[in-house]
Amino acid sequence: MVAGRVAALTALVLCSCVYAQADWPMKPLRLVIPVAPGGGTDFLGRMLAQKMGENLGQTVLVDNRSGAGGSIGSLTVARAAPDGYTLLLGYTASHGINPALSKLPYDPATDFSQVSLIASAPNVLVVHPSIPAKSVQELVAHAKTRKEPMRYASAGIGSAPHMSGEMFNSMSGTRFVHVPYKGNGPALNDVLGGHVDLIFAALPAAIQHGKTGRLRMLAVTGLVRAPQVPDLPTVHESGLKGFNTDQWYGVLLPAKAGPALVARLHKEVLAVVKSQDFVDRAQGQGFDVIGSSPEQFRAHIVAEVAKWKRLVAEVGIKAE
């Protein structure tokens, strides 16, 4: 009799879960963006939230949980109920660099259900106009003949600009000195002011300065050229084969979200990122829209952590 009650209770719970997923969403959703408001990551997340809300007929609330390179917001989602109402916009730092740099309270692959890789954006290597280099090759030659070491700015230890600089040092034989700042804005401003020689800046943040001549853009950091600056070569084709430090962004759920729920979210996310309006707005800000399967996104995270672990071990980068 006890076994019968347990079986009946189990069936009731399973039935309730099926109906809950079938009726999803019945209330507003929350999209955790693990960075402060403003900037490319926040722009992309808010655009995604707006379009998903329109399609679902439910508000998708944006919750900026910044700090620790995206780790604080990511942990919030990892510990949330796996009911499809709390989503995360994970990105390069939260699910690639930081897990390779230090021990985190979450595993970037196994503590989340991957939904879709939605977009990427290259960084761009820019120098102050006073630097007499108009290509990657000229920059490397200049750095190796200069008496004083060149300095590059970043948003802080473990940020994508920092890791881009260290990868460049490792592959080119240069010895650029890292100058960390508390954010991308102050770092870029000091390059604009000539206080620091160069930066691997996000393309959306640097492109206008490059077009006006306040900075000189030398190359983008992805494996292919950026459509926004098609005449600008990649670092890869400029001699450093395999150089690739694209920033990427994807949607995740807590680990125990069921397959049916992941499939539904995947369908909804793809409907947004493949819409022409989203593509046009994202590309206008320097993003390349992707839209992957959950399996492809999980494999991407695993590969990214491995890539950054190799660089951290090779260069000896230490977390703050």
CA angle 311, 317, 320 (to 5 degrees): 140
Looking at residue 22, its pLDDT comes to 66
CATH 3.40.190.10 domain span(s) along the chain: 123-220
- pLDDT band at 11, cuts 50/70/90? very low
Q: Which tops the pLDDT comparison, 172 or 207? A: 172
CATH 3.40.190.150 domain span(s) along the chain: 29-120+249-315
Looking at residue 12, its pLDDT comes to 44
Cα 126 from Cα 89, distance rounded (Å):
27
Q: How many CB atoms lie within 10 A of CB 84?
A: 22
Cα 261 from Cα 250, distance rounded (Å):
16
Per-residue pLDDT tens over the stretch 132-187: 999 999 999 999 999 899 999 988 888 888 899 999 999 999 999 999 887 778 88
Answer whether 108's CB lies under 8 Å from 301's CB.
Answer: yes
With 90 as the cut, is the pLDDT of residue 301 above it? Answer: yes
Task: Determine whether domain 29-120+249-315 maps to CATH 2.60.290.11.
Answer: no
Per-residue pLDDT tens over the stretch 29-88: 999 999 878 777 888 999 999 999 999 999 999 999 988 778 999 999 999 999 999 999
Per-residue pLDDT tens over the stretch 96-115: 998 998 889 999 999 999 99
Answer whether 181's CB lies under 8 Å from 159's CB.
Answer: no
Q: Is 231 helix (H, G, I), strand (E, B) or coil?
A: coil
Q: What is the CA 26 to chain-centroid distance, rounded?
A: 30
Name the strand (E) or helix (H) holding 51.
helix 40-56
| 123-220: CATH architecture | 3-Layer(aba) Sandwich (3.40)
Looking at residue 151, its pLDDT comes to 97
Q: Which amino acid is at 31?
A: L
Looking at residue 9, its pLDDT comes to 45
Per-residue pLDDT tens over the stretch 289-300: 999 999 999 999
Looking at residue 70, its pLDDT comes to 86
Can you read off the two tokens belonging to residue 144?
A: 């190796």
Read off the pTM.
0.81
